[in-house]
A and B are shown apart, each in its own frame.
Chain A
Amino acid sequence: GAGVSQSPSNKVTEKGKDVELRCDPISGHTALYWYRQRLGQGLEFLIYFQGNSAPDKSGLPSDRFSAERTGESVSTLTIQRTQQEDSAVYLCASSLTSSGHTDTQYFGPGTRLTVL
């Protein structure tokens, strides 16, 4: 079946511009995560959605970052007034149920963001 998809695959933008990244989770997966991976670094948790519950935004690095998800479908991560330090691969993952500590996370291919 279809896996997690993300778009765009690559995004080059100028400092100060806003960008929007999209994630389509696996159908039926209630949990959705966003991560950031800087070059040569580990994955950094950004935000978690679980069904219709309030999202866990504790990993968002600044108020320039926001994310939305409608129900159990598509999610968008928005970065306003991008900075060069935002350059990274943004990965989305989904998992089947709410018992997050045991479920397998399936990752999308990521969006490679470059801020000039």
Chain B
Amino acid sequence: RKEVEQDPGPFNVPEGATVAFNCTYSNSASQSFFWYRQDCRKEPKLLMSVYSSGNEDGRFTAQLNRASQYISLLIRDSKLSDSATYLCVVNEGGNQFYFGTGTSLTVIP
């Protein structure tokens, strides 16, 4: 079983729409959670960390559900520039970070 699983999509949404991605993780002892963004043929960049109480950064909201072992990312008022692959990342407390395969988002004019 993979440590981190994501729906690969693609998600194609119109500008202004709200879209949500989920990611599940297998190790209930996982400690840290992140969402990264990766543009085509570019390196991943941190979008936001995910805190237990949930957190928001502008149009982006991340939530953690430990009981069900998933994290979510909500994007409101989608912009064309939000088009990218969103990577879910989990750390179990050691040196390794487990990356999901990513969810592809395309925002359509």
- On A, residues with C-beta under 8 Å from B are 33, 35, 40-45, 48, 50, 56, 58-59, 91, 100-102, 104-110
Residues of the B chain whose Cβ atoms lie less than 8 Å from the Cβ of A100: 91, 94-95, 97
Smallest beta-carbon distance A75→chain B, Å = 15
Residues of the A chain whose Cβ atoms lie less than 8 Å from the Cβ of B87: 42-43
Inter-chain pairs besides A35-B99, A100-B91, A105-B97, 17 sampled, C-beta below 8 Å: A40-B101, A41-B101, A42-B4, A44-B99, A45-B97, A48-B95, A48-B96, A50-B95, A56-B96, A100-B95, A101-B31, A101-B32, A101-B94, A104-B49, A108-B43, A109-B42, A110-B43
Which residue of A has the minimal Cβ distance to B99?
A: A43
- On B, residues with C-beta under 8 Å from A are 4, 31-32, 42-46, 49, 87, 91-102
Report which residue of A101, A104, A108 has the largest number of chain B beta carbons within 10 angstroms of its beta carbon: A101
Majority-rule SS of A interface residues = loop
Of A56, A106, A107, which is within 8 A of B95 by CB? A56
B45 near A107 with CB under 8 A, answer yes
Report which residue of B42, B87, B94, B97 has the largest number of chain A beta carbons within 10 angstroms of its beta carbon: B97
B96 near A109 with CB under 8 A, answer no
A45 and B96 alpha carbons, distance in the complex (Å): 7
Which residue of B has the minimal Cβ distance to A108?
A: B43
B97 near A33 with CB under 8 A, answer yes
A107 and B99 alpha carbons, distance in the complex (Å): 13
A108 and B46 alpha carbons, distance in the complex (Å): 12
